[in-house]
Homo-oligomer: A and B are copies of this chain.
Amino acid sequence: MKLHFTSDYMEGAAPEILRKISEINLNKHSGYGTDEICENAGNLIRKTAKAPDADVFFVSGGTQANAIVIDSVLRPYQGVIAATTGHVSGHEAGAIEYGGHKVLTIPQKDGKISAEEVEKCVEGYRQDENHDHMVMPGMVYISQPTEYGTLYSAEELKKLSEVCHRYDVPLYMDGARLAYALTKECRVNDVDLPLIAECTDVFTIGGTKCGALFGEAIVIPKSGFIPHLFTMIKQHGALLAKGFLMGAEYEVFFRDDLYLRIGDSALIFANRIREALDKKGYRQVVASPTNQIFVELTNEEYESLSEKVDMGFWEKPDDTHTVVRLATSFATEEKDVDALISILEENK
């Protein structure tokens, strides 16, 4: 039987979540997230993020969350600054452009953009004599962890925030995999929810890839920053009739810090795999400290490994190598990690 390390969305939900949903299943709730459970979940998020006035909304997916936030914040003549590798740039099938906005890509390093590059982009626009004929930078999109599993440090985040607010360009953080950054097992991380709430204008707390059945929380630290977001969510087809289900998921996530803990085992296992790879001399193309591991294989290694392990194909850097992604999740089991490490050791 094959091992599966393809992604962090292969399984359903953390057992605590499924239990909660079963408990409330036959209760009566008001529709579209106007129920008490969503209210509670919002309060828990506000408390954890130390953002007592924050607006909190739940939507069913990450691409949706990005499209809605960007489309709601930008004016028609504005675009969103993002890394060339940003999820919004390449892998959302043109969802941002569908909403009428350009993605203004800037250079990245390991999936991250710098305050300097953002400043250069905004200044470049301002100083261009023809900027009235160009798309105005109206927002900055970052992800934490990034698409490469890397993390902004507190210092980097503060600098980005400073530049953004100096230029009056809102900062948006996509936290689709935020649990894997917040876990205490991710030792390099020094960015917590309160800092995120302080530094950004909007951020999401990802559910789907962090042990929920589905759902992302959109958090707006300063209440009212996006007027009529409820209607925008509806217009984008993202308003779930049974919104209380997402409320229940996030209530469980934040009632007992499950969200902050959910990455623990995922990270412990990811770290073990990373060590095993290092020991055997596999090259990790990015120094990701979270639940995703990017490793370069020779084509032979790739073929041999593929027979036993399902992995995510990432890219072909040259004709003789293949980069794959290995991901752990809340549901990763120790025996599978042991088996993977044995195979990796044999394979080298």
- Assess the A61–B240 pair: CB atoms within 8 A: yes
Q: How far is the CB of A341 from chain B (nearest CB, A)?
A: 18
- Assess the B31–A11 pair: CB atoms within 8 A: no
Q: How far is the CB of A238 from chain B (nearest CB, A)?
A: 6
The CA of A60 and the CA of B241, in the complex, are separated in Å by: 10
Partner of A331, one of B4, B26, B98, B103: B26
- Assess the B238–A12 pair: CB atoms within 8 A: no
- Assess the B136–A231 pair: CB atoms within 8 A: yes
Q: Looking across the interface, which residue of chain B has its beta carbon closest to that of A34?
A: B132
With a cutoff of 8 Å between Cβ atoms, the chain B residues found around residue A77 in the complex are 93-94, 228, 231-232, 235
- Assess the B9–A28 pair: CB atoms within 8 A: no
Q: How far is the CB of A142 from chain B (nearest CB, A)?
A: 19
- Assess the A12–B234 pair: CB atoms within 8 A: no
Q: How far is the CB of A275 from chain B (nearest CB, A)?
A: 24
Partner of A100, one of B97, B231, B331: B97
- Assess the B60–A31 pair: CB atoms within 8 A: no
With a cutoff of 8 Å between Cβ atoms, the chain B residues found around residue A166 in the complex are none
- Assess the B240–A60 pair: CB atoms within 8 A: yes
Chain A contacts with B in 229-250, Cβ cutoff 8 A: 230-232, 234-242, 245
What copy number does this chain have within its complex? 4
- Assess the A136–B12 pair: CB atoms within 8 A: no
Q: Looking across the interface, which residue of chain B has its beta carbon closest to that of A336?
A: B28
Interface residue? A313 (CB, 8 A): yes
Interface residue? A102 (CB, 8 A): yes
Among A16-24, A45-53, A112-120, A181-189, which stretch is in contact with chain B?
A16-24
Partner of A134, one of B7, B93, B99: B93
Interface residue? A64 (CB, 8 A): yes
- Assess the A237–B133 pair: CB atoms within 8 A: no
The CA of A231 and the CA of B30, in the complex, are separated in Å by: 33
Sample of 9 more A-B contacts, CB < 8 Å, known A63-B237, A95-B234, A95-B235: A12-B24, A12-B26, A18-B25, A66-B237, A67-B237, A75-B227, A75-B228, A136-B231, A208-B241
Residues of A within 8 A of B (CB): 4, 6-7, 9-13, 15, 18, 21-22, 24-32, 60-68, 71-72, 75-77, 79, 90-95, 97-103, 129-130, 132-136, 208-209, 213-214, 227-228, 230-232, 234-242, 245, 310, 313, 331
Q: What would 5 A/B residue contacts be, using CB atoms closer than 8 Å?
A: A63-B239, A77-B231, A95-B237, A102-B103, A214-B214
